[in-house]
Chains A and B, each alone.
Chain A
Amino acid sequence: GIQVEQSPPDLILQEGANSTLRCNFSDSVNNLQWFHQNPWGQLINLFYIPSGTKQNGRLSATTVATERYSLLYISSSQTTDSGVYFCAVSDGANNLFFGTGTRLTVIP
Chain B
Amino acid sequence: GAVVSQHPSRVICKSGTSVKIECRSLDFQATTMFWYRQFPKQSLMLMATSNEGSKATYEQGVEKDKFLINHASLTLSTLTVTSAHPEDSSFYICSARGGGGDPYGYTFGSGTRLTVV
- A positions within 8 Å CB-CB of B: 1, 30-31, 33, 35, 40-43, 45, 48, 50, 86, 88, 90, 93-101, 103
Contact A31 B44 (CB under 8 A): no
Known contacts: A31-B103, A48-B104, A96-B34. The answer to whether A41 contacts B110 by CB under 8 A is yes
The main secondary structure of chain B at its interface with chain A is strand
Contact A33 B106 (CB under 8 A): yes
B 6-19 binary contact with A (CB < 8 Å = 1; else 0): 00000000000000
| Residue from A48, A93, A96 having most chain B Cβ neighbours under 10 A | A96
Q: Which residues of chain B in 52-86 are interfacial with respect to chain A, using CB atoms and an 8 Å cutoff?
A: 59
Contact B108 A97 (CB under 8 A): no
Closest to A35 in B: B108
Please, how many angstroms separate the alpha-carbon atoms of A35 and B107 in the complex? 11
- B positions within 8 Å CB-CB of A: 32, 34, 36, 38, 41-46, 49, 59, 91, 93, 95, 97, 101, 103-104, 106-108, 110-111, 113
Please, how many angstroms separate the alpha-carbon atoms of A101 and B44 in the complex? 9
Residues from chain B with a CB closer than 8 A to the CB of A30 are 103
Please, how many angstroms separate the alpha-carbon atoms of A94 and B33 in the complex? 11
5 contacts across the A-B interface (CB closer than 8 A): A86-B43, A94-B101, A95-B46, A97-B46, A101-B42
Which of A31, A45, A93, A101 lies in contact with B43, CB distance below 8 A? A101
Which of A42, A50, A86 lies in contact with B44, CB distance below 8 A? A86
Contact B110 A99 (CB under 8 A): no
Closest to A48 in B: B104
Which of B45, B95, B108 lies in contact with A42, CB distance below 8 A? B108
Closest to B46 in A: A95
